[in-house]
Amino acid sequence: MSITPFNASLIPDLSGKIALVTGGNTGIGYITCLELVRHNAKVYLGARNKDRAQEAIKQLKNQVPTAQVEWLSLDLGDLNRVEEAASNFKKKESRLHLLINNAGIMATPYETNKDGIEIQFATNYIGHFFLTHLLLPTLSLTAKDSAAHQVRVVNISSLAHNMAPNGGINFDDPNNTGRFFLKPWARYAQSKLANILHANYLDRHYSNRGIDFISLHPGSITCIFKVIYWFAFFVFITPDQGALTTLFAATSPKAESGKYYIPFGKEGTISSCAGDDKLQDRLYEWTCTKLKSLGYIQD
């Protein structure tokens, strides 16, 4: 493993900054929260399970006694709970500097949420899209408040986005119910492609508000991947190492809006589909239409 060009010692002082990290109770999310509070940010740890979240917060405070960290109840697979989480956050805070869309599930058996959306697409993409949509006004006001307050949205994607079925988003069958090899992985890959398309769309349309929109592949974490076919595409790293690219994207002055980063803070290459402006527009419009049809957003 080569020496990392970015490490936690390069994170600037984050005093006065407020961060929300989804899936912050474990893995990369936990290490991300740890380094953010270690550098004086106030962190909202988004997680579904109260007991696990509180245990994570206990560990964070054991490691950083001065840590400012709170649990935010959040289930990205349930859009009503996403809406509740955003509302609860806005009751507590009027500013948000860092939204880190980290949570995700991987290669799970076929299942849909209560809205009929395949669970990986719902959790990894739709839930984060909706959360970002609901918090965008807060992010915009934070960016407007002071030029010194750097505001960023970071979408955790994956190298797997290159393996999305048919090279893009299956709009005719977004749940990917058809028959093809490694279906759970194909659904995962589509959700990770959607994360990049989302970040790039927002960069093109909203970065003029003073918000940076960044996507990244954190690296493949030890003991996650069990399908030998995929071993050719991933080099395993630890959660501590995996969090470094997230932390680079969230905090480094060198990170740029609209970019896609790979370990450890290097600019990476996205698929031709991920860089397709028309596909970004189509997915954004499709998602808005879907959320409107379900009654979650209004015209």
CATH of 8-293, one of 3.40.50.300, 3.40.50.2300, 3.40.720.10, 3.40.50.720: 3.40.50.720
Q: What is the pTM of this model?
A: 0.92
The per-residue pLDDT of the chain, averaged, comes to 90
Separation between Cα atoms, residue 138 and residue 92, nearest integer Å: 12
- Largest alpha-carbon pair distance within the chain? 52
Instruction: Write the CA distances from 148 to 38, 172, 202, 293, integer angstroms.
Output: 21, 44, 21, 39
166-211 confidence digits (pLDDT tens): 768 989 888 888 755 568 888 999 999 999 999 999 999 999 999 9
H or E element at residue 197? helix 183-206
Phi then psi dihedrals of residue 121, to 5 deg = -65, -40
Separation between Cα atoms, residue 124 and residue 90, nearest integer Å: 22
Phi then psi dihedrals of residue 39, to 5 deg = -105, 25
Q: Is 188 a catalytic residue?
A: yes
| Torsion (CA) 79, 219, 186, 204 in degrees, nearest 10 | 60
Q: Domain residues of the chain, as ranges?
A: 8-293
C-beta separation of 102 from 23 below 8 A: yes
Give the pLDDT mean for 18-42.
Answer: 97
Hey, what are 16's tokens?
């006065």
Q: Is 278 a catalytic residue?
A: no
209-240 confidence digits (pLDDT tens): 999 999 999 986 543 444 434 443 445 678 78
Catalytic residue among 192, 201, 259, 261: 192
Catalytic residue among 30, 188, 201, 260: 188
Residue 47 has pLDDT above 70, yes or no: yes
Helices (H), ranges, 146-238: 183-206
Hey, what are 76's tokens?
């990205």
